[in-house]
Amino acid sequence: MLLLVAFTLILAAIAAVGVALAKEQPQGLARALEALERSGAQGRALAEEVDRPFTERVLAPLQARALGLGRRLTGADKADRIRRRLDFAGNPRGWTVDRVLSMKVISAVALPVLVVAYGAILGGSVTVLLVIALAAAALGFVAPDLYLHNKASHRADQIKRGLADAVDLLTISVEAGLGFDAALQQVARNTSGPIAEEFSRVLREMQLGMSRAEALKAMGGRSNVEDLNTFVGSMVQADAFGIPIGQVLRVQSSEIRVKRRQYAEEKAQQVPVKIMIPLILFILPCLFIVVMGPAVLSALDAFNGQ
């Protein structure tokens, strides 16, 4: 009797579990519809993933990983130095501190791969390829810094050449009766190049609530041109001590024009030295071949005839 009761209870428990499972899991058409819904959701997710741009799917994660590695490889103060280089270069469009760090890592990895692949096609030895790969990695790591240095040098040269004319126009505007802010607006409107961009930024910063001295000091800090820093210092002192701005501008205009003439003379004196490199490497060898080639061939024919 006890065995019959126990057997009945076990069958009842198995039946209850079966009913519960049947309620939890859909059967027949419901299960097929649920499977289709899951596959449709996965298909929509896959379609959305494929429809995303290539930059978001591949380049953005790659740049994020390169940025993390670049932050670990560089020092703690490297970000400030890169930000200062970006200011010197005029803050090129799309270039940020994070982009520079990621580009350093990406170029340090991609350039050796390309160089080694090209060397392997040409049949170079393993030792030579290893040395070339190390050199390419070093070059790729410093390539963004070289680009920013080149941009900063070009921008500084443009500022040196355009500062004298800008200060002349500023002096004429102030002496004609305009205020310093209005004169800055005239210079920014009627000139072009980095100096006009800097004056425009000074005006915007002053409109946002920054004082004239702070805006001028910020302009001097964004450039490594000595003449511009001297001009900024003179304007800040004139504003602090109440010196007439027109007189200070007249003196600064004369000095900057003299310095620009000296800068042009310095560049002109560097031309003979700089032209020696292409002259020795490219022009003189071709000239020797043209002049001495027939004589050498005649001498060889004479020696062979004897």
Domain tally, the chain: 1
CATH number of the structural domain spanning residue 170: 1.20.81
Give the H/E segment covering residue 94: none
Interval 217-260: pLDDT, tens: 999 888 888 888 988 988 888 888 888 888 888 888 888 888 88
Evaluate if residue 124 carries a pLDDT over 80: no
Phi-psi region of 74 (alpha: psi -120 to 50; beta: other; left: phi over 0): beta
Q: Is residue 183 a part of any domain in this protein?
A: yes
- Mind listing the pLDDT tens digit for each residue in 153-185? 999 989 988 888 898 989 898 888 888 888 888
pTM of the model: 0.68
Task: Report if residue 161 sits inside a domain.
Answer: yes
User: Among the ranges 22-36, 58-72, 92-106, 219-233, which has the highest mean pLDDT value?
Assistant: 219-233
Confidence of residue 212 (pLDDT cuts 50, 70, 90): confident
CA distances from 221 to 53, 126, 169, 247 (A): 39, 48, 23, 24
| DSSP designation for 58 | I
Whether 40 maps to a domain, the answer reads: no
66 pLDDT above the threshold of 80: no
Decide if pLDDT at 3 tops 50: no
Residue 60 within a domain: no
What's the mean per-residue pLDDT of the chain?
78
What lies within 8 Å, CB to CB, of 97 at 6+ separation is 79, 82, 83, 86
Provide the residue range defining the domain that includes 255. Answer: 157-260
Question: Residue 208, Cα to own-chain centre: how many angstroms?
Answer: 27
Instruction: Say if 222 falls within a structural domain.
Output: yes
Residue of higher predicted confidence among 267 and 79: 267
Q: CA–CA separation, 200 vs 224, rounded Å?
A: 18
Q: Is 148 contained in some domain?
A: no
pLDDT at 90: 85
Q: Are 130 and 112 in contact (CB under 8 A)?
A: no
Q: Is position 122 within any domain?
A: no
pLDDT in tens, 38-54: 555 554 554 455 555 65
Please give the structure tokens belonging to residue 53: 């741009």
Q: Is residue 233 part of a domain?
A: yes
The tokens describing 3, both together, are 């065995």
